[in-house]
Amino acid sequence: MIMPLTAFAIGRTLLLHLDPVLGPALFLGLTLVGCSPGGTASNLVSLIAGADVALSVLLTACSTILASGVTPLLVKLLVGSAVEVSGMALCEATARVVLLPVTLGMMLNAKAPKLARTLSRFTPFASVVLVALICGGVVAQNAASVLSVGSTATSSLLPTIIASVLSLHSVGFLAGYCVPKLGLGYTEKTSRTISIETGMQNSALAVVLARSIGADPLASLPGALSATAHSCLGSLLA
């Protein structure tokens, strides 16, 4: 609950009332990032940081499977009073984006393991390219809106969005380390693993969900910026 509640608090404080039209969309986008499961990039960062890679993979897998039910519920609870969101649309979108690919991958690995091994050589690179295209497309689509609002408003819009995203992930990394290390007495290696897993979210999922439920295009922007932010922060901490 660290990331969802942090996203809710930062979103309501910095984004919701930033602009009457765009503020709610940005608030929804940041909340989607906070409620998304752990990103697969956390497994690579855990390897670089010398953390527990097996634990990282396990946490990512569990959070991804749970996301099909938990993500729509959390988003609806957190933003439902401020932004109109269809819980059913969220559930359907999450199932398509999360459960369907996982199910197809498991079936392919079980029925055609040789084909699965062949495809696995190319899918990591293809995933990186697709995420880059998705996030780049979102930023390009919303650049005009962000810059036009930022040039006329009393405060610039883009720096506030970036600060919100960086704050969300920074709190995630810090709390993800302090709670298990200082509060629960876990080992340094385990605490670092949980920190990385907490601070790095599946930002691409947040982008796809925002677009799938018919939200304002600007709702995808926090997720697109988050993909770069958590990767940079995670790499620096590693």
Query: If pLDDT is split at 50, 70 and 90, which confidence band does 151 have?
Result: very low
Three-class SS state of 185: coil
Check whether 71 has a pLDDT greater than 50.
Answer: yes
Q: Which of 13, 18, 88, 40 is nearest to 204 (CA)?
A: 40
Terminal Cα distance for the chain, rounded:
23
Residue 46 pLDDT: 86
Residue 153 pLDDT: 47
The amino acid sitting at 56 is S
Residue 116 pLDDT: 83
How many residues in the chain?
238
Residue 29's φ and ψ, nearest 5 degrees, are: -65, -45
Check whether 49 has a pLDDT greater than 80.
Answer: yes
Token digits for 145?
A: 């809106």
The residue written with tokens 């590693």 in the block is: 238
Integer angstrom CA distances of residue 23 from 13, 14, 73, 141, 217: 11, 9, 22, 17, 12
Question: What is the average pLDDT across 85-109?
Answer: 78
Check whether 154 has a pLDDT greater than 50.
Answer: no
d(CA 30, CA 221): 9
Question: What is the average pLDDT across 39-45?
Answer: 81
Residue 174 pLDDT: 94
Residue 66 pLDDT: 86
